[in-house]
Amino acid sequence: MPLFKEELRHFISCVLDEDIGSGDLTTLATIPSITNLRAELNTRETIVVAGIDIAERIIHTVDSAISIEILVQDGVEVTTGNTLMRLEGNARKILTAERSALNVLQHLSGIATLTRKYVKEIAHTNCRLLDTRKTIPMMRKLAKYATRMGGAMNHRMCLDDGILIKDNHIASVGSIKNAIKAAKNYGSLASSIGITVECDTIEQAAEATAAGADRLLLDNMSLDMLRLAVSEFSAKVNLEASGGVTLDTIKEIAETGVDFISVGRITQSAPAVDIGLDYLK
């Protein structure tokens, strides 16, 4: 589970409060209180599942008496028409919980599905896909969990999770060398988690390597520049390519020999997948 128990309880409470308000008026007005339903969660396209257990918790928060059978676990790729979950119980409660459960499951599975597409493009190399901090506010832990289900590695969870010296930091202190020196003088934290430096040119990469960086973030470099960086610096530091990476370009980037590629699109632009709740007679 990507969230601690109390985090999950709070998240589900907020999700249901947002969707239900003071009550599901349509369901209360039209469905007799004693009516039961059987239903299935079915895929409408090929997806990588993420968030199935959270969907279950949402439904059970609305009504713990609903019978739920989970058929597919997170991280599994399934094709169109597969059943992810079967449930049976009070019709009012199932209808009330439906949209909240689907919203979370579709969103997280969308991230996992897009992530898996990127991972497949570089599977023949030793390069690993990284996510970024480009996430919907308050959804980061869940989004990064979904990228793991798709096969990516997590980059920084938050700003206290690593030292990444970028162009604005460098501009503020005058040089890459000064920025790295300041980071190293900050304390033992820098040596324990390492220092990454964003580099736009080979000259910056050389300066960062000489100053003691542990990883170079090679930002928006051409394929030729990436190959040169690999030949010059890969024996000394880890190399991460980033900037405008798409499904059409990631394969060639990975084949340059970089260690990592970070992609903001997998969390920032992933479309929700199509999953439907189908009611059974």
Q: Can 99 be counted among the known catalytic residues? A: yes
- Active-site annotation holds for 144: no
DSSP 8-state code for residue 161:
G
CB neighbours (10 Å) of residue 23? 11
What is d(CA 154, CA 152) in angstroms, rounded to the nearest whole number?
A: 7
Residues 6+ positions from 159 with CB-CB distance below 8 Å: none
Instruction: Note if 57 is an active site residue.
Output: no
> From the candidates 38, 86, 99, 128, which is the catalytic residue?
99
- The verdict on whether 274 is a catalytic residue reads no
Cα 9 from chain centroid (whole Å): 21
Asked whether the beta carbons of 86 and 68 are under 8 A apart, the reply is: yes
Q: Which two tokens stand for residue 189?
A: 């934290």
Q: Is 141 a known active-site residue?
A: no
CB atoms within 10 A of CB 187: 9
From the list 24, 56, 131, 198, the catalytic residue is: 198
- Which member of 86, 128, 166, 227 is catalytic? 166
Residues 213 and 197: beta-carbon distance below 8 Å? yes
State how far the Cα of 62 lies from the Cα of 16, in Å rounded to an integer: 8
Alpha carbon 62 to chain centroid, angstroms: 27
- Write down the catalytic residue from 219, 240, 259, 265: 219
Task: Give dist(CA 150, CA 13) in Å, integer.
Answer: 27
Residue of 38, 120, 128, 134 with catalytic role: 134
List residues with catalytic annotation: 99, 134, 166, 198, 219
